[in-house]
Amino acid sequence: MRSRPFLGAFVTPAALCAVALVAALLAILQYSVRMHVPGSLEPGDYTLANFVALLKPLYARVFFDTAWICLLTAFATLVAGYPVAYALVHTKRPFVKGLILIIVVTPLFLGEVVRTYSWIIVLGNTGFINSVLLMLGLIASPIQLLFTTIGVVLALVHVTLPVMVVMLAAALAHIDPAYERAAASLGASPLRAFLTVTLPLSTPGILAGVTTAFAWTFSAFATPQLIGGGRVNMVSNLVYQLGFASFNFPFAAALSVAGLVMTFALLGLIRLGTRRFENVTQH
Amino acid sequence: MSSSRASSSAVSLNAVSKSFGAIAALKATSLDIRPGELMTLLGPSGCGKTTLLNIVAGFLSADAGDVAIEGQRVNDVPTFQRQIGMMFQSYALFPHMTVEANVGYGLKMRGMPRADIHRRVQDALVLVKLQGLEARKPSQLSGGQQQRIALARALVIEPKVLLLDEPFSALDKSLRGSMQIELKDIQRKLGIATIFVTHDQSEALSLSDRLAVMSEGVIRQVGTPHEVYADPADRFVASFIGDVNVIPGVIESLDDGRATIRVGNGHVGASRTHLADAAPGTPVDVFVRPEQITLAAPREEIPLTGKVHASVFQGGHTDVLVDVGVEGMSTVLVRLAGPAHVARWAKGAPVGVVFAVDTVLAFPKSG
């Protein structure tokens, strides 16, 4: 094996970060099995009561809602992102390519709070969407978008889109254009060529995009906090409430651990269910 | 467009041109491919051969001119309705489908019942001599097997014309020869008009019924392999097809059909085809194939003398490179049939180069 003289020096910062992260996770894990002492920030004896309490319908409901919002967001982002990624890969004009890229990536550069407040302005009862629909006479009274799951999902799709588009574009760019040409030469219309060749060949990108979108959304905090306005609660919001409003650190820790476990479990399920597509493009 | 001419052709191109930005990839080009013939588009990369093929396939649209397939103008017909069969350089077998699904794809697109598809696929696999691999994925096949599948997939739909885009370039040399023969056999058996694009002149000579030699967006010559080899239309074709020595000479005398050209201390005859405006004293380039010259002991009256630079034993023949002291050319390549030349013409041996034929090709000096 070749010697790598700089390996140690290069790996040290990452290793230190990893150690700190593991220590923090272990602290959370430790907190999650301690008793809450009301009026004190110090935890009490070891117990599993926190995890038992998670099974209460009130909390179980939040987990279910979070998973549902994540699934909706991942799916909606896929549907919205696929055409964008396709256009990004297939346009021949550098200008159009640059424009699509800039529009898609912008949400990543806006601060989370700024972006979320813009959505509040757009989604409000006198906001952009409702004003336009009212003006066009399509609705008689404003639709409730703010403080609803739909509103939260919309805002989450916005911030998840860059990741999805980049992952899909990477997958689409790897598909040899000769495949679509071959399909056309064999009598497939552009739509059928897309459905029978390009779409199946892009499944690795779809899986990667959906999986990442799901995990990315699971930890969303500011968006559901501000747009949900307390009426749409995700796990992060519950952790915040319990930790910083009730100062129940042990229970907040137990929620976090459960959230982490659930994310891994759901990702594992998605992976399991789609494994057969994995080998699709292996050459 | 003259419809009478088009109707007797499998594919007819009439003054077709195509530019990419400021670059004229294809200048007004006309070409007819007869029913059942294998027409090769031959030329160096960037000569426009692939552009022409893509225009016939419908992947590119011509800036001007007409494309007709079996007499029907197809300029505005999209690829998927042109009824072509195409084999790609990379084969472009769908990696997520089995061999059976790949070959049957075109029939499925045509809405054929599954039982019929299965039968036709089997027939096609028999044709390319590759059965028993129906359930495999393309990645599980060798390069030669992939090529057979790609050919079966293109042929099973019974296309009006078969388009081949450098199909042999990915194969190793030993496999290439046998695949070429098989392809030619299948093509002849089916009698399907075929356009074959390649930059490999030996491939073009061995496979084509006719070939079109292209350079810089223009067809330089159309003819049978023998015509193009023996009677090239211009300097480009003469130097692109086969090995050739370009030896400077001077026209000594002219009569009706022939020119006598002085080369070194000797003479050689040339047809006047390419020397119409020449006069005695005009400097020319003599184009002579390696097998049209031979070696002799150096003496007076011999056109060129020099020393053996290298003798290369090639199995069936021997290539001898001779250093001749002529300005503007380094070595002359002489191809001698049979073995036993290597020892006789050893490196450094003094040698004379003589013409083995009495008529060679000559072109006016370029530039």
pLDDT digits (tens, 9 = 90+) for B38-56: 999 999 999 999 999 999 9
Residue A11's identity, in one-letter code, is V
* CATH number 2.40.50.100 given to B243-364: yes
State mean pLDDT over B5-30. 89
Instruction: Look at residue B192 and tell me whether its pLDDT is greater than 60.
Output: yes
Instruction: State pLDDT tens for residues B25-42.
Output: 999 999 999 999 999 999
CB A121 within 8 A of CB A127: yes
Residue contact B139–A190, C-beta within 8 A: no
Q: For residue B92, give the chain A residue with the closest CA.
A: A179
Percent of chain B beyond pLDDT 70?
97
Place of tokens 């004379």: B352
- Could you report the per-residue pLDDT of B305-346, keeping only the tens digit for each? 888 998 888 888 889 999 887 776 778 999 988 766 677 888
pLDDT for residue A182:
97
Q: Once rounded to an integer, what is the mean pLDDT over residues A17-27? A: 95
B20 touches chain A (CB under 8 A): no
**Cβ of A178 and B88 within 8 Å?**
yes
Q: Cα(B245)–Cα(B268) distance, rounded to whole angstroms? A: 14
Is A280's pLDDT higher than 90?
no
As a whole number of angstroms, the longest Cα–Cα distance in chain A is 75
**What is the pLDDT confidence band of residue B3, given thresholds at 50, 70 and 90?**
very low
Of A178, A185, A282, the CB nearest to B90: A178
Under DSSP, the state recorded for B112 is -
Could you tell me what percentage of chain B is helix, strand and coil, using 3-state DSSP and rounding each to the nearest 5?
30, 35, 35
- SS3 sequence, chain A? CCCCCCHHHHHHHHHHHHHHHHHHHHHHHHHHCECCCCCCCCCCCECCHHHHHCCCHHHHHHHHHHHHHHHHHHHHHHHHHHHHHHHHHHCCCHHHHHHHHHHHHHHHHCCHHHHHHHHHHHHCCCCHHHHHHHHCCCCCCCCCCCCCHHHHHHHHHHHHHHHHHHHHHHHHHCCCHHHHHHHHHCCCCHHHHHHHHHHHHCHHHHHHHHHHHHHHHHCCCHHHHHHHCCCCCCHHHHHHHHHHHCCCHHHHHHHHHHHHHHHHHHHHHHHHHHHHHHHHHCC
According to DSSP, the β-strands at B23-33 and B11-20 are antiparallel
Percent of the residues in chain B that have a pLDDT greater than 90, as a whole number: 63
- What HEC string does A217-229 produce? HHCCCHHHHHHHC
Is B249 touching A (CB cutoff 8 A)? no
Is residue B261 scored above 60 in pLDDT?
Answer: yes
Residue B7: predicted pLDDT:
52
**For A244-267, how does the pLDDT look when each residue is reduced to its tens digit (9 = 90+)?**
888 888 999 999 999 999 888 888
Contact B57/A181, CB-based, under 8 Å? yes
Rounded to an integer, the average pLDDT of B77-105 is 96
- Please state the rounded mean pLDDT for residues A211-231: 89
**CB distance from B58 to chain A under 8 Å?**
yes
Rounded CA-CA distance B272/A153 in Å is 83
Q: Which CATH superfamily is domain B3-239 in?
A: P-loop containing nucleotide triphosphate hydrolases (3.40.50.300)
Residues 173 through 212 of chain B touching chain A, CB cutoff 8 Å: none
pLDDT bucket at A44, cuts 50 / 70 / 90: confident
Burial environment of residue A10 by CB neighbours within 10 A (0 to 12, 13 to 18, 19 or more): exposed
**Which of A81-95, B171-185, B222-236, B336-350 is the least confident region?**
B336-350
Cβ neighbours of A276 in B, within 8 Å: none
List, for residues A55-94, the tens digit of each pLDDT value: 899 898 999 999 999 999 999 999 999 999 999 999 989 9
Average pLDDT (A196-221) is 91
- From the CA of A220, how many Å to the nearest CA of chain B? 36
Pick from A40-54, A173-187, B154-168, B215-229: least confident: A40-54
State residue B66's pLDDT score. Answer: 96
Which residue among A185, A197, A281 places its CB closest to the CB of B85?
A185
Residues B152, B312: Cα–Cα separation, whole Å: 41
Select from A205, A222, A218 the least CA-distant residue to A266. A218
Q: What is the mean pLDDT of residues B231-256?
A: 90
- Residues of chain B within CATH 3.40.50.300 domain(s) are 3-239
| Distance from C-alpha of B114 to C-alpha of B96, rounded to nearest angstrom | 19
Looking at domain A56-281, what is its CATH homologous superfamily? MetI-like (1.10.3720.10)
Q: Closest CB to A185: pick one of B79, B89, B95.
A: B79
What average pLDDT score do residues B199-214 get? 94
In 3D space, the residue among B210, B246, B219 whose CA is nearest the CA of residue B43 turns out to be B219
Residue A38's pLDDT is: 84
pLDDT band at A279 (very low <50, low <70, confident <90, very high): low
- CA-based max dimension of chain B: 80
Query: Rounded to a whole number, what is the distance in Å from the CA of B138 to chain A's nearest CA?
Result: 8
Task: Return d(Cα B197, Cα B213) in angstroms, integer.
Answer: 10
The whole-number pLDDT of residue B32 equals: 96
Provide the residue ranges of all domains of chain A, joining segments of one domain with +. 56-281
Q: Which of residues 61-80 of B touch A (CB under 8 A)?
A: 78-80
pLDDT for A97-122, tens place per residue? 999 999 998 888 888 888 888 999 99
pLDDT at B171 > cutoff 70 = yes
With bands split at pLDDT 50, 70 and 90, how would you rate the model's confidence at B8? confident
CATH 2.40.50.100 in chain B, residues? 243-364
Query: Chain B: nearest CA to A61, how far in angstroms?
Result: 41
Question: In the block, which residue shows the tokens 């960037």?
Answer: B46
pLDDT at B304: 86
Tokens for A186?
């064999």
Q: Classify strands B359-364 and B266-271 as parallel, antiparallel or unpaired.
A: parallel
- Looking at every residue in chain A, the average pLDDT score rounds to 89
Q: Is B145 exposed, middle or buried (0-12, 13-18, 19+ CB in 10 A)?
A: middle
pLDDT at B278: 81
User: Which of residues 85 through 124 in chain B touch A, CB cutoff 8 A?
Assistant: 85-86, 88-90, 92-96, 105-106, 109-110
Mean pLDDT in residue range B124-131 = 93
CA distances from A202 to A194, B238, B272, B298 (A): 10, 48, 62, 70
Q: What is the pLDDT of residue B4?
A: 44
pLDDT for the residue B345: 83
Tokens of A269: 């399920």
pLDDT digit string, tens, across residues A127-161: 888 999 999 988 888 888 889 999 999 999 999 99
